[in-house]
A = this chain, B = another copy of it.
């Protein structure tokens, strides 16, 4: 193989991305289909590793594939204003903060329930919290089990 090209395995190794994932990124159009050898093997120009780096870092920050697609396009136009990229970042930050708030609510509730000093199910904090407290409803009322 030519010294200046990489197999898909070498590319994946260099960029820290699974081989299957590289093929997936090709399928969804994040990276270009590379030239193939006579037997059908992909041979990547060395520069592609940087594009994969970019994608991987974007994923580590939680950007979606579509957001990364947009950011890649923006990165190709270095002289244009970056307002669009910053907007994406701020929107994504807002989503991340919303998820944190959601999980924090769960964590606070769970930490009240997970360390239960009841010794039987009918005194369990967790199962009590999940059951509803209508007059005609109790832990035991969650019946009609399918199993």
Contact = CB atoms under 8 A, between A and B. Distances in A.
Interface of A: 29-33, 45, 47-48, 50-51, 53-54, 57-58, 60-62, 71-82, 85-86, 88-90, 92-93, 96-97, 99-100, 103-104, 106-107, 109-111, 113-116, 118-124, 126-127, 129-132, 134, 137, 139-147
A interface, over-half SS = helix
Contacts of A141: 47, 50
Contact of A145 (B76, B90, B146): B76
A48 B106 contact: no
A71 B130 contact: yes
B134 A81 contact: no
Contact of A89 (B58, B82, B92, B110): B110
A127 B85 contact: yes
A78 B32 CA distance: 59
Contact of A127 (B74, B99, B115): B74
Nearest to A58: B130
Given A61-B106, A96-B110, A141-B50, A130 B81 contact: no
A59 to B, nearest CB: 10
Contacts of A143: 47, 51, 76
Contacts of A62: 103, 106, 110
Contacts of A103: 62, 96, 99-100, 103
